[in-house]
Amino acid sequence: MSKLGYKTHRIYVKFQNFNETTVNHFAEFLRHKKEVFALAIMNGKWDFAVFTGTKNINELRNTWNQILFNYKDKIKNYNFCVYEPIHFFTREFYLNKNKEINEITYGGNELIDYDDTDIKIIEEFMKNVRKPYTEIAKKLNISTDTVIRRVKNLEKKKIICGYNLVLDYEKVGFTE
């Protein structure tokens, strides 16, 4: 995201009197915020992790002020984190075939040229990374070849850095 000019943050929130109604209302509230690109419901110290991408600190402050305006009396505690280096491991790493570590750094990267069509393709992939190129092309009213070429270019520029494997650790023998 930093190559597109975004700064990424995580906001952890703990609610007072947390219940299903609060979960649904908060999730629905954040679903319409363009700065929020992911939301995780958690158990334990935090109830939510809100992942934001903003062009500047004012956008982050505005989103946070909107959260406070609507939920201040319900929030028990919160914490902000800058989303800095994240280490992703290739599938081969887990299979003991290759010990290569792919590091993706959020922040400090050189900006890459992109346009609205690139952003629209990324937005479609964010909804469903397995969505066929033909469906994306039809929705965006461009050719399938254009989608394929642009996705390959976004991968080459490291804007699309991979398609993550998400494991259910308990199913592979690890416990919390």
**Residue 152 confidence (pLDDT):** 93
* Rounded CA separation 114/99 (Å): 32
> Two tokens at 16?
């007072």
Among 149, 157, 12, CA closest to 79: 12
pTM of the model: 0.61
**CA 38, 42, 48 angle in degrees (round to 5)?**
55
The enclosing H or E element of 94 equals: helix 91-94
pLDDT in tens, 25-66: 999 999 888 888 888 888 889 988 998 888 888 888 999 999
Q: What is the pLDDT of residues 89-121, one digit of tens each?
A: 666 666 666 555 555 555 556 677 888 999 899
pLDDT interval class at 85 (50, 70, 90):
low
Mean pLDDT calculated for residue range 140-155: 93
